[in-house]
């Protein structure tokens, strides 16, 4: 008997029986169209329909994220389909070990997915907590806890999560810019693979594992003499073979490691491998008090730099080194805060938890600039965010560490949001790029600034550089190219690029809609806004005002006018047709 671990998606047309009774032929057409849409998105997301049941289908995926995307995209497409709506279908998803019988799949896992679909409300996507645990770090959407649900035919209740609004900005939403990327080999190049937990891979270990991977990547990316592939590139790869990684990312070396914290001590095993033949260049085992962890990281950075570049430049390493916290307690709180911040938006409690962790880090070490900067980022996700207070906080972080590129980049954004000071914003963005010349994330995020200031060509240049460093950039960096094309009036290029993205965010759909209005295709513009609203029913023009920080207010006004014409709602407190770039209450989030 053949078994395999898969993600099961079950979807069903809602109300087929009364529809058939009212008008059989019309109902058959609607049901057929809905199932065709669902089947198309299953195929697009590398899934396979393995069974149908008249008004529903069952599909399998090797990737839980792809299964989730298929459901989300199907629901969005229903919003613009003739005589259909997002409420025309409901969805259930579950990850399970199932039995393969010919082309069919059977077992309790299939039944759970089907029961989740049965008990979902029309238009809703309900998933098991098992699936949620698989996708939460790379989720394309938020989730709402639905609690334990007793499903028919099961002895024990199943924890259920309901898919909420789609997320525009999630740092690990990888969106490959090339389907099968292969890069030219870069000189002096390295990638840091995600460290793994040595021993139990529990939450206590994971925050440390992820944080160290990110910190070492960040430290190396600040060295001008190195080419450092980004953190999202390393996470997106599903291989560990150094030779294959080298061919994909164009790097000569791969740094890997395993971490385990045992009380007051930490064990860290580090290996640097060449990608020409996969041989180990050097490896080291560190067993030291946790208080010496940052010293170990400095040693690793120096040794990697020396090996990769063929020399060691102590002056460059010293100049690029991030100002370290004085307290390891502060560093622990900071790493825990990063773990929650990565999940901000996935469930409602993570942003608040991140703010609290960064506050504790700041309390343990008031001179820890990066913790202050990240508190501002996390805080901007919460309704109680105070922009004026955040502005003072980030300026204080700059005083503490003017050489931190993330502090510079965040201050550049805050200067625009709070003071509309685009000149200061420019200085801080340019300094961020100078301080982190190999950080794809920072370079890609800085691209947005130049589009907003009327220099989209410069934005595209930075995106080219970021994609060279990382062919697996997060979707919300990739889509800055869509925004740049819009600002340049390249509407056809915008639409082609947007339609070939790994998946659609509502921001991309809104820019596509505005472009369609510009070329007088009102029908398609309205359909795109409907699809965006299917992913986030609370979207209004306020969202656009908060996120699209154009220096030229006429550009923003034209964008708003086009989106209103396409059907994007205005806030309830503003009369339709009267909203401007300055009278909305749009809230900006900082990333």
User: CA 220, 432, 353, 237: dihedral to nearest 10 degrees?
Assistant: -40
Query: In this structure, are residues 102 and 465 in contact, taking their beta carbons and an 8 Å threshold?
Result: no
Alpha-carbon gap, residue 9 to 46, rounded angstroms:
13
Alpha-carbon gap, residue 540 to 570, rounded angstroms:
5
Which one is predicted more confidently, 372 or 310? 372
pLDDT at 522 over 70: yes
pLDDT at 174 over 60: no
- Residues 21-71 pLDDT 10s: 888 888 899 999 999 999 999 999 999 999 987 799 999 999 998 999 999
Which one is predicted more confidently, 312 or 20? 20
Spatial neighbors of 406 by CB under 8 A, at least 6 apart, are: 370, 373, 374, 432, 436, 442
Q: Band of the pLDDT at 172, cuts 50, 70, 90? A: very low
The predicted pLDDT at position 575 comes to: 52
Q: Around Cβ 352, how many Cβ atoms within 10 Å?
A: 16
pLDDT at 180 over 80: no
- Residues 454-496 pLDDT 10s: 999 999 999 999 888 877 777 878 899 999 999 999 999 999 9
Q: What is the DSSP string of 242-311?
A: HHHHHHHHT-SEEEEEEEEEETTEEEEEEEEEETTT--EEEEEEEEEEGGGHHHHHHHHHHHHHHHHHSS
pLDDT at 91 over 90: yes
> Which residue's structure tokens are 């056809």?
492
Which contacts qualify for 310-315: CB closer than 8 Å, 24 or more apart?
310/188, 313/225
Alpha-carbon gap, residue 237 to 251, rounded angstroms:
13
At 250 the three-state DSSP class reads coil
- Mean pLDDT over 377-397 rounds to 92
- Mean pLDDT over 225-234 rounds to 72
Query: In this structure, are residues 541 and 570 in contact, taking their beta carbons and an 8 Å threshold?
Result: yes
Residue 47 half-sphere exposure, CB side, CA atoms within 13 Å? Answer: 30
Which one is predicted more confidently, 455 or 164? 455
The predicted pLDDT at position 441 comes to: 85
Query: In this structure, are residues 551 and 452 in contact, taking their beta carbons and an 8 Å threshold?
Result: yes
Q: Band of the pLDDT at 72, cuts 50, 70, 90? A: very high
Q: Strand 158-166 to strand 265-274: parallel, antiparallel, or no bridges (unpaired)?
A: unpaired
Query: In this structure, are residues 333 and 296 in contact, taking their beta carbons and an 8 Å threshold?
Result: no
Q: Which fold, 2-166?
A: Alpha-Beta Plaits (3.30.70)
Q: What are phi and psi of 345, to 5 degrees?
A: 100, -25
- Mean pLDDT over 497-519 rounds to 91
The residue ranges of every structural domain in the chain are 2-166, 189-326, 479-591
Q: Band of the pLDDT at 176, cuts 50, 70, 90? A: very low
The predicted pLDDT at position 175 comes to: 42
Q: What share of the chain is helix, strand, coil (3-state, %, to 5)?
A: 50, 20, 30
Find residue 126's DSSP bridge partners.
Answer: 92, 162
Q: What are phi and psi of 296, to 5 degrees?
A: -60, -40
Q: What percent of the chain has pLDDT over 70?
A: 89
Regarding the domain with residue range 189-326, which homologous superfamily does it belong to in the CATH classification? TolB, N-terminal domain (3.40.50.10070)
Query: Among 32-36, 89-93, 151-155, which stretch is predicted with the lowest mean pLDDT?
Result: 151-155
Q: Band of the pLDDT at 379, cuts 50, 70, 90? A: very high
Among the listed residues 297, 366, 377, 294, the one whose alpha carbon sits nearest the alpha carbon of residue 332: 294
Greatest mean pLDDT among 27-41, 191-205, 307-321 lies in 27-41
Query: In this structure, are residues 139 and 503 in contact, taking their beta carbons and an 8 Å threshold?
Result: no
Among the listed residues 32, 61, 56, the one whose alpha carbon sits nearest the alpha carbon of residue 134: 61
At 520 the three-state DSSP class reads coil
Find residue 289's DSSP bridge partners.
Answer: 265
Alpha-carbon gap, residue 577 to 569, rounded angstroms:
10
pLDDT at 140 over 50: yes
The predicted pLDDT at position 340 comes to: 86
pLDDT at 328 over 50: yes
Query: In this structure, are residues 529 and 567 in contact, taking their beta carbons and an 8 Å threshold?
Result: yes
**Distance of alpha carbon 500 from its chain centroid, rounded?**
17
The predicted pLDDT at position 474 comes to: 79
Instruction: Tell me the residue ranges of DSSP E strands in 83-214.
Output: 89-101, 104-106, 125-128, 141-149, 158-166, 189-192, 196-197
* Arithmetic mean of pLDDT over the chain: 86
């Amino acid at each position: 008997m053949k078994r395999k671990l898969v993600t099961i998606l079950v979807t069903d047309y809602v109300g087929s029986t009364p529809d058939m009774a009212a008008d059989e032929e019309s109902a058959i057409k609607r049901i057929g169209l809905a199932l065709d849409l669902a089947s198309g998105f299953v195929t697009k997301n590398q899934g396979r329909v393995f069974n149908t049941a008249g008004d529903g289908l069952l599909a399998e995926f090797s990737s839980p994220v792809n299964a989730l995307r298929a459901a989300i995209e199907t629901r969005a497409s229903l919003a613009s389909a003739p005589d259909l709506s997002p409420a025309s279908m409901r969805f259930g998803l579950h990850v399970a070990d199932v039995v393969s019988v010919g082309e069919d799949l059977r077992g309790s896992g299939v039944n759970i997915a089907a029961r989740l679909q049965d008990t979902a409300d029309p238009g809703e996507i309900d998933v098991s907590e098992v699936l949620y645990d698989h996708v939460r770090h790379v989720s394309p959407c938020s989730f709402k806890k639905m609690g334990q649900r007793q499903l028919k035919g099961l002895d024990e209740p199943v924890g259920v999560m309901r898919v909420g609004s789609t997320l525009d900005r999630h740092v690990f939403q990888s969106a490959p810019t090339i389907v099968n990327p292969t890069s030219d080999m870069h000189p002096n190049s390295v990638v840091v693979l995600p460290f793994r937990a040595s021993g139990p891979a529990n939450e206590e270990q994971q925050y440390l594992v992820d944080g160290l991977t990110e910190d070492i990547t960040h430290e190396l990316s600040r060295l001008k003499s190195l080419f450092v592939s980004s953190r999202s590139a390393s996470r997106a790869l599903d291989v560990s073979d150094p030779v294959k990684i080298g061919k994909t990312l164009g790097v000569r070396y791969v740094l890997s490691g395993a971490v385990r914290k045992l009380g007051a001590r930490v064990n860290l095993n580090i290996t640097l491998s060449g990608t020409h033949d996969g041989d180990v260049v050097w490896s080291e085992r560190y067993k030291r008090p946790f208080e010496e962890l940052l010293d170990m990281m400095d040693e690793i950075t120096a040794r990697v730099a020396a090996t990769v570049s063929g020399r060691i430049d102590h002056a460059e390493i010293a100049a690029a080194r991030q100002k370290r916290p004085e307290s390891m307690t502060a560093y622990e709180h900071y790493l825990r805060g990063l773990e929650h911040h990565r999940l901000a938006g996935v469930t409602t409690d993570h942003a608040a938890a991140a703010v609290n962790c960064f506050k504790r880090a700041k309390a343990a070490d008031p001179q820890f600039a990066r913790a202050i900067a990240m508190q501002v980022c996390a805080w901007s996700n919460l309704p109680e965010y105070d922009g004026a207070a955040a502005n003072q906080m980030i300026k204080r972080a700059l005083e503490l560490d003017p050489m931190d590129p993330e502090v510079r980049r965040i201050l550049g954004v805050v200067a625009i949001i709070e003071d509309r000071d685009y000149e200061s914003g420019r200085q801080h963005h340019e300094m961020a790029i100078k301080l982190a010349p190999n950080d794809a994330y920072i370079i890609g995020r800085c691209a947005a600034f130049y589009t907003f200031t009327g220099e989209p060509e410069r934005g595209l240049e930075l995106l080219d550089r970021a994609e060279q460093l990382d062919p697996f950039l997060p979707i919300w960096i990739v889509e800055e190219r869509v925004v740049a094309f819009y600002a340049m009036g390249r509407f056809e290029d915008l639409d082609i690029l947007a339609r070939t993205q790994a998946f659609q965010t509502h921001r991309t759909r809104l820019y596509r809609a505005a472009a369609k209005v510009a070329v007088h295709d009102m029908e398609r513009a309205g359909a795109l806004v409907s699809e965006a609203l299917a992913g986030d029913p609370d979207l209004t023009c306020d969202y656009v005002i908060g996120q699209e920080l154009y220096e030229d207010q006429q550009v923003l006004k034209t964008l708003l006018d086009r989106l209103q014409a396409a059907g994007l709602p205005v806030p309830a407190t503003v009369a339709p047709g009267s909203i401007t770039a300055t009278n909305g209450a749009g809230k900006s989030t900082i990333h």
